[in-house]
Amino acid sequence: MTDPQTPVGAAGAATDEAPVTATAAANAPSAQAAGGGRSFLPKSTLLRHLVILLLCAVGAVILLEITSPFQNSQLATLSYYAIAAGGLTVLTGLNGQISLGHGALMAVGAYTTALFLQDREASLPLPLILLVSIVVATAVGALVGVAAARLHGPYLAGATLALAVGLPGLALYFDSVLGGEQGLRVRAPQAPEAFDDFIGLVSGNSPTNTKWLAYVGTICLLITYFLLANLVRSRIGRTWRAVRDQDVAAELAGINLGAWRVLAFTVSAAAAGLAGGVLALVVRLAAPSGFTLVLSLSLLTAIVLGGLGSLLGALLGSALLVFLPPFVTDLGADWGLDNTEAAQLAPLVYGVVLIVAMIFAPAGFVGTVRLRWLTYRAKQRMAAARASSGG
């Protein structure tokens, strides 16, 4: 599939430059020190990621057990934002496609989960329900991906924007099945007894439903990031980067651009589907007003702030999304603003943070840190080389 627009003209030139800084975070080798040698982690990518997964799992359990019930619920919220942002960062950071429609794909996952949980007695086991949500969202994502594979930049953004605006409307149209404006209420399944035993064993905290949902979200998050990290390090990830950086060269090398773009969109849609399923469980509702354009846009801002293409960046960006507004609101209330003014402060501060980040750290948090680190290393090597040649 060819794209006649990219090889020539200013647009092509602009995209050549942009990935270098904007997606600096995407090119980071996963977790191990770039130079090798000094790392204690195994050399094999899969083994290394397994070790990191295990460490993160232990860290997550500790984090969930030392935090308050409310912070547990915030972490549950963080988990679904981070899953969706992780999928989006693979699409945007690694493959260079912009999607404004991920909120709608989350809606697909959320409604699927909600529909399967309507009859609490006869419902399928939770992992299976989430799996079905992923499959349905993947199917929708593949469909959109095929349509979008020929599109680029603003055109793709426009097409996915239509998805974000249009899809929640289906819930209003088929209101007998999908609950209309009210949405579908979700009764999250009870925690299994093994969970109660586990919590009793680990910390002795009370195994509330909030905690259970936080664990479900965290487990989904860890699995998603593990799979995405492996994918990014594999031949597939390299091919995506090739398509992003130089599509002409990639095509000459025998890469079918369209097929790889569709694949990236599909993988990303699968993550969004899972995120939607977790959202339905945590929010206890799937309603159109939960999947407005604002959701898609905040996912995009999260990955840009964190660092395009980096899973860690996606996680950090999502954390900002979850923790910044209540923090600012409480700060505003402490300064003596009334509740209404304090609430209005949160979007303002978020906007300011976004603008400041775009001006001073266009590569996002992870990208900026990585660029600084690379510059520092390069200077050191130059100094070392000069010293050895001089002596």
Where do contacts with other proteins occur on this chain (CB under 8 A)? Answer: 68-70, 73-74, 77, 169, 172, 175, 180-183, 185, 187, 209-210, 279, 282-285, 287, 289-290, 292, 294-295, 326, 329, 338-340, 343-344, 346-347
Instruction: Give the span between the Cα atoms of 330 and 81, in whole angstroms.
Output: 22
Instruction: Give the span between the Cα atoms of 342 and 39, in whole angstroms.
Output: 46
Is the separation of the CB atoms in 39 and 32 below 8 Å? Answer: yes
Q: How far is the CB of 334 from other proteins (least distance, A)?
A: 13
Considering the complex, state which of residue 69 and residue 127 has its C-beta at the smaller distance from other proteins: 69
Considering the complex, state which of residue 119 and residue 338 has its C-beta at the smaller distance from other proteins: 338
CA angle 315, 160, 18 (to 5 degrees): 60
Instruction: Give the span between the Cα atoms of 211 and 197, in whole angstroms.
Output: 13
- Residue 130 tokens read as 């989430």
Considering the complex, state which of residue 169 and residue 200 has its C-beta at the smaller distance from other proteins: 169
Considering the complex, state which of residue 279 and residue 363 has its C-beta at the smaller distance from other proteins: 279
Q: How far is the CB of 57 from other proteins (least distance, A)?
A: 24
Give Dmax (Cα) for the chain. Answer: 82
Query: Both ends of the chain: CA-CA distance in Å?
Result: 56
Q: Please report which helix (H) or strand (E) contains residue 286, including its range.
A: strand 285-286
Q: How many CB atoms lie within 10 A of CB 59?
A: 11
Considering the complex, state which of residue 25 and residue 282 has its C-beta at the smaller distance from other proteins: 282
